[in-house]
Amino acid sequence: MLLFPNCINLSVLNNNENNNKMDTNRIIEEVKKQGKTIASSIAEIKDYPEPGISFKDITPVLQSPELFNKVNMALVDLTKCFGKVDLVVSPESRGFLFGPVVADRLGIGFVPARKSGKLPRAVIEEPYGKEYGTDMIQIHNDAIAKGQRIIIVDDVLATGGTAKAIARLAERLGGIVAGYVFFIELCYLGGSIFLGNDKVLSLVEYQ
């Protein structure tokens, strides 16, 4: 009888992959259900900060310990859908409300991405588009090691410009962008298409 101890049982691998996909889809489905409930607590302010814009005010969620905890646990679950992650990266300022919490609950590190002049040591920077021009976002030049898998966590996905700039920073340092996780996604602005639909997961979606 011939033995092949190093051969891989493809049927077992395929079953494991299918089971993982099913588990991921189930998690996403459950999180989306939670998102619909949480969305009812997000205040919409018409014509703010200018006419024609409907501002999504998350402060009622932040004021409720129960809701804030649910949001962060949901973001943790979404992050787990991308597999093993070494670091969470978030931009100032509202990204700092969620990114450090997600990192803490996953037991991994947090990297702050900040505007020009806010970080004390040597940095790398990337431009990102704003409504009336461009700005720069920076991270420390030793914040991410080569090969580390990162997840970008923020409060809102609009056009995706800030998140994409952070991804470029991570990649310049040799990091691998596993995915993007957002509390709120404004789907009508096309941010997930810009970032890559298969890499974006959001808790609350506005179509």
Q: How many CA atoms lie within 13 A of 181 on its CB side?
A: 30
Catalytic site residue from 26, 126, 131, 205: 131
**Which parts of the chain are beta strand (E)?**
43-46, 54-57, 87-91, 109-115, 123-130, 133-140, 149-157, 176-186, 200-206
- Are residues 98 and 154 in contact, defined by beta-carbon separation less than 8 angstroms? yes
The rounded Cα 156 to chain-centroid distance in angstroms is 9
Catalytic site residue from 94, 105, 168, 172: 94
* Annotation marks residue 26 as catalytic: no
| Type of residue at 4 | F
Cα separation of 31 and 50, whole Å? 32
How far, CA to CA in Å, does 148 sit from each of 16, 81, 157, 185, 198? 24, 17, 23, 26, 20
Phi, then psi, of 23 in degrees rounded to 5: -65, -45
* Annotation marks residue 172 as catalytic: no
How far, CA to CA in Å, does 107 sit from each of 2, 83, 167, 178, 202? 45, 14, 21, 17, 21
Return the structure tokens found at 125: 């920077």
Active site members: 94, 131
